[in-house]
Structure 1
Amino acid sequence: MTQRDHVSWASILTAYNLAKLPNKTVSIFHYMFTIDRLQPDHFVYATLLKACASLCALRLGKQVHARFVLSPFVDDDVVKSSLVDMYAKCGLPSIARSVFDSILVKTSVSWTAMLSGYARSGLKDEAMELFSTAPARNLYSWTALISGLVQSGYCIDGCYMFIEMRREGVDISDPLVLSSVVGACSNLAVLGFGRQTHGLVIGSGYESCLFISNALVDMYAKCSDILAARNIFYRMLHRDVVSWTSMIVGAAQHGRAEEALDLYDQMVLAGVKPNEVTFIGLIYACSHAGLVSKGRKLFKAMIEDYRITPSLQLFTCFLDLLGRSGHLDEAEDLIKTMPHDPDEPSWAALLSSCKHHGNSEMGLRIADRLLNLNLHEPSTYYVLK
């Protein structure tokens, strides 16, 4: 284009956001000043803040906020709603509330953003109080509250609020709230309520939705109904890495090591790239089935073939595999040389293996290491006994 105006810039920035490419939104923004000599208007401010919220780019978000305060659009309530959303998603609900209180005409968007910010930050009382004063409760405000409560660990409260939402007759025209409730059932391992929610999913016509099906597979697997999880999984028309990983981890947790490994082979053949959680499930399966050589191969493939840098949790899982199978010296070498500082679960896993295989000399060394930490898990004291 030989000439670009504010509409041109707002359009391309919005397009990048809709395409889930917020990095692109941020990276091209400065050309608006340097090339076209344009200052952002209220549409551009709102679009850029949405990108900052998606990236949790707090520093950039604050810079945009400062520019907005000095701009002619300082009283624009749409931009203020975007600021509320950005600060809430960046974990600063108190600043979000300050901006929220400055909005003259609060829309459902600003109410929903503030509710979500409180709930996701674990501020349950503040979220419930704000929700009770909301002028209107629509599906999106209910979803913000329920999803936020579940994400911050208040799964029981999330389920109760969902029941209350159903009593009020709110039409479920968007499936996101259902996936949150299924996730709560998964975390609580409440199979009965999970099945009722599954029935509601079917009745609402959302069973073919990928993220709903993934949540159901995970829920049934965690609730020990691996057959139901398998039935849903094989009925899915499309499966992504979350689908495969949920089944692999579910099979591993139920002692079905061969099934987990077979699912991994099918996953690779289907062209789906595994992630770190996939390998945690696979190595866990190998650990409990005593498949040491297979576990070593998977650990090597993860690093060399898929370029995944193992986290401390994955190292601990691999450590447990070596320890359970009696390779205590190799396990001790690993815990000393891994690029992470060993934590309580790492040392406890190795100490448990020492006790199991009767290596008291190494066990005393590991126990000394554990006692130097600030212990939190009751099971660790049992292992130290």
Structure 2
Amino acid sequence: MLVPQAVLSQARYKPSLAQALHGQLMKWGLHDRHPYSASLIDSYAKSRLPHDAVRLFLSLPLPPNPLHARFLFSPFSQDDVVKSSLVDMYSKFSLPLYARAVFDSISSFNKASWTAMISGYARNGFKNEALRLFREAPNRDLFAWTALISGFVQSGNGVDALHLFVKMLREEVEISDPLVLSSVVGACANCALWELGKQVHCLVIGLGFESCVFVSNALVDMYAKCSDLDAAKGVFFGMWRKDVVSWTSIIVGSAQHGRAEEALALYDSMVSAGVKPNEVTFVGLIYACSHAGLVGKGRKLFRSMVEDHGIRPSLQHYTCLLDLLSRSGHLEEAENLVRAMPITPDEPTWAALLSACKHHGNAKMAIRIADHLLSLKPEEPSSYILLSNVYAGAGMWENVSKVRKMMMVMEVKKQPGYSCIELGKESYVFYAGETSHPMKDEIAALMRKLDEEMRKRGYVPDTSSVLHDMDQQEKERQLFWHSEKLALAYGLLKSVPGTIIRIVKNL
């Protein structure tokens, strides 16, 4: 059934909508092809018999867009090659059910149709359907594997994609095309799997695909997201041809690691090389200015993006500029920006401003922004945690209780924070306050020793970040058992002296 169910349910109660079905035939230019059906639909509608109009409309093989409709009533309506293209089109428009309807109408299946449908299911989150169709595929070659793995990466199922890639290697599928490698590198980047990413990089070199621009771009991004900026720069400067994605990846990577001057210098080199920046480039640049406190430079880049490069600012650009202003203490200017920008600010935008107010200790403004954010009935757990912390910091415990009740009503659950550390080929996860680890005694002893050394050097625990109604000693205990500290202590105990300790957080 290709007519949206919402239309059908409304048509039962609104005769005017049934008449609109006739109008849809006219809009698609198909009334001359089926004048009898069109007339009947019109007659049923005018006689206020919407059920019959809808039933007749359903009997026509009409698709949800005019391009497909014209194809059905053209001399090429049974062309399986065109149908394969339609499967791909609907998949890319996040309409896998429509794609499957077309797929099932193909009389002689080919490699392109199977690949498009597998990709459509995988990239839209239909994991089981994608795997089932993949197993049924008559030819599970590299392209079928690539469709499945790439689709899983795009839908956020990176771990599943990596398991499939390992399975593909065990089945000795020849990698004659590098696209699957760029997808796997992307999965390593999204999951911050540095060790595995390095192994895939070795495979890329071994297969001779290091000269492929899109594979090298994926490697630059992967190393940057895994905090190995030196390796990212090594890949970047070793590329004989660099496109806008190459430059943007290294600029954003430098910005995210606090190397603002490097990011800005790379941008100057990019422009000198004649490469035109895109929207993402400016997100990275303004982000770099934000973390370096370069307010004037950030404002200048924002204007340049519009005036020199003709890029229309998106909500993300405004949010980065807001972050730049608020981090630097320009809270009133930041609020004016939020209220004046041509795009309706979303929940994260208001949350970013609220976070800045909290950071700079502007309680009066923070409470005003918090009240507005609360009125929006936020959906993100992080927004509720921020609201609770702001109200708790102001001693407004009734508001804290109100926020928590809203979380219960809306079934908002805070994702537990954890820290993950990789040692060799194995990774270990630590949660705040964890006491079940086999090495808990050794970890606690080392943490106490480090805590004593820190206090001798003047360290005083900042318990202002522990916004719970508890005594000072309990607040210090909360800080002591932070998941990052646990992971770091474990890394110091288990790793070889002098090696880099990498800790990845899920929040």
Q: Give the TM-score normalised by structure 1.
A: 0.82
Whole-Å Cα distance in 1 between the matches of residues 313 and 79 of structure 2? 46
1:295 partnered with 2:320: no
Query: Residue 5 of structure 1 aligns with which residue?
Result: none
Whole-Å Cα distance in 2 between the matches of residues 300 and 367 of structure 1? 30
1:98 partnered with 2:98: no
Q: Kindly, what percent of the aligned residue pairs are identical?
A: 67
Query: Residue 320 of structure 1 aligns with which residue?
Result: 323
After superposition, the Cα gap between the structure-2 partners of 1:141 and 1:312, relative to the gap in structure 1 and judged at 3 Å, is: same
Task: From 342, 364, 369, give the equivalent of 1:366.
Answer: 369
After superposition, the Cα gap between the structure-2 partners of 1:71 and 1:325, relative to the gap in structure 1 and judged at 3 Å, is: closer
**Structure 1 gaps, min length 5:** 1-58
Query: Residue 242 of structure 1 aligns with which residue?
Result: 245
Whole-Å Cα distance in 2 between the matches of residues 103 and 341 of structure 1? 44
Q: 1:292 touches 1:325 (CA, 8 Å); kept in 2?
A: yes
Query: Residue 195 of structure 2 aligns with which residue?
Result: 192
Query: Residue 359 of structure 2 aligns with which residue?
Result: 356
Equivalent position amino acid for 2:211 in 1: S
Query: Residue 229 of structure 1 aligns with which residue?
Result: 232
1:113 partnered with 2:105: no
Q: 2:188 touches 2:222 (CA, 8 Å); kept in 1?
A: yes
Q: 1:260 touches 1:285 (CA, 8 Å); kept in 2?
A: yes
Whole-Å Cα distance in 2 between the matches of residues 147 and 214 of structure 1? 16
Query: How many residues are paired up?
Result: 327
Task: From 265, 269, 293, give the equivalent of 2:268.
Answer: 265
After superposition, the Cα gap between the structure-2 partners of 1:74 and 1:320, relative to the gap in structure 1 and judged at 3 Å, is: closer
Whole-Å Cα distance in 2 between the matches of residues 149 and 277 of structure 1? 23
Q: 1:319 touches 1:350 (CA, 8 Å); kept in 2?
A: yes
Whole-Å Cα distance in 2 between the matches of residues 262 and 351 of structure 1? 32
Task: From 377, 380, 383, give the equivalent of 1:377.
Answer: 380
Equivalent position amino acid for 1:87 in 2: Y
SS for the counterpart of 1:81 is helix
Larger Rg: 2
Q: 2:90 touches 2:96 (CA, 8 Å); kept in 1?
A: yes
**Structure 2 gaps, min length 5:** 1-61, 390-507
SS for the counterpart of 1:87 is helix
After TM superposition, list the pairs within 5 Å mapping 1:64-83 onto structure 2: 64-83=67-86
Query: Residue 15 of structure 2 aligns with which residue?
Result: none
1:166 partnered with 2:159: no
Q: 1:286 touches 1:292 (CA, 8 Å); kept in 2?
A: yes
Whole-Å Cα distance in 2 between the matches of residues 181 and 74 of structure 1? 38
1:60 deviates by 10
After superposition, the Cα gap between the structure-2 partners of 1:60 and 1:96, relative to the gap in structure 1 and judged at 3 Å, is: closer
SS for the counterpart of 2:187 is helix
1:379 deviates by 2.9
Deviations 1:187-233 (A, max 9, x none): 11101111111111101111010000100000000000000000000
1:84 deviates by 1.9
Whole-Å Cα distance in 1 between the matches of residues 73 and 302 of structure 2? 53
Equivalent position amino acid for 2:66 in 1: Q
**Which one is further off, 310-319 or 370-379?**
370-379
Whole-Å Cα distance in 2 between the matches of residues 327 and 248 of structure 1? 25
Query: Residue 182 of structure 1 aligns with which residue?
Result: 185
SS for the counterpart of 1:85 is helix
SS for the counterpart of 2:321 is helix
Equivalent position amino acid for 1:302 in 2: M
Query: Residue 156 of structure 1 aligns with which residue?
Result: 159
Query: Residue 138 of structure 1 aligns with which residue?
Result: 141
Deviations 1:267-289 (A, max 9, x none): 11111111121111111111111
Equivalent position amino acid for 2:340 in 1: T
What value does the CA root-mean-square deviation take over the aligned residues?
Answer: 1.7
Q: 1:149 touches 1:155 (CA, 8 Å); kept in 2?
A: yes
1:140 deviates by 0.6
Q: 1:61 touches 1:86 (CA, 8 Å); kept in 2?
A: no
Q: 1:221 touches 1:250 (CA, 8 Å); kept in 2?
A: yes
Q: 1:249 touches 1:282 (CA, 8 Å); kept in 2?
A: yes
Q: 1:347 touches 1:370 (CA, 8 Å); kept in 2?
A: yes
Whole-Å Cα distance in 2 between the matches of residues 366 and 67 of structure 1? 52
After superposition, the Cα gap between the structure-2 partners of 1:81 and 1:336, relative to the gap in structure 1 and judged at 3 Å, is: same
SS for the counterpart of 1:119 is helix
Whole-Å Cα distance in 2 between the matches of residues 258 and 74 of structure 1? 58
Equivalent position amino acid for 1:177 in 2: V
1:235 deviates by 0.6
Query: Residue 219 of structure 2 aligns with which residue?
Result: 216
Q: 1:150 touches 1:180 (CA, 8 Å); kept in 2?
A: yes
More helix by share: 1
Deviations 1:101-160 (A, max 9, x none): 222221111111111111111111110011111122011111111111111111111111
Deviations 1:321-367 (A, max 9, x none): 11111111111111110011111221111112212222222112111
Query: Residue 336 of structure 1 aligns with which residue?
Result: 339
Equivalent position amino acid for 1:178 in 2: L
Query: Residue 41 of structure 1 aligns with which residue?
Result: none
SS for the counterpart of 2:310 is coil
After superposition, the Cα gap between the structure-2 partners of 1:244 and 1:73, relative to the gap in structure 1 and judged at 3 Å, is: closer
SS for the counterpart of 2:177 is coil
Whole-Å Cα distance in 1 between the matches of residues 236 and 63 of structure 2? 41
Whole-Å Cα distance in 1 between the matches of residues 76 and 293 of structure 2? 65
Whole-Å Cα distance in 2 between the matches of residues 251 and 313 of structure 1? 18
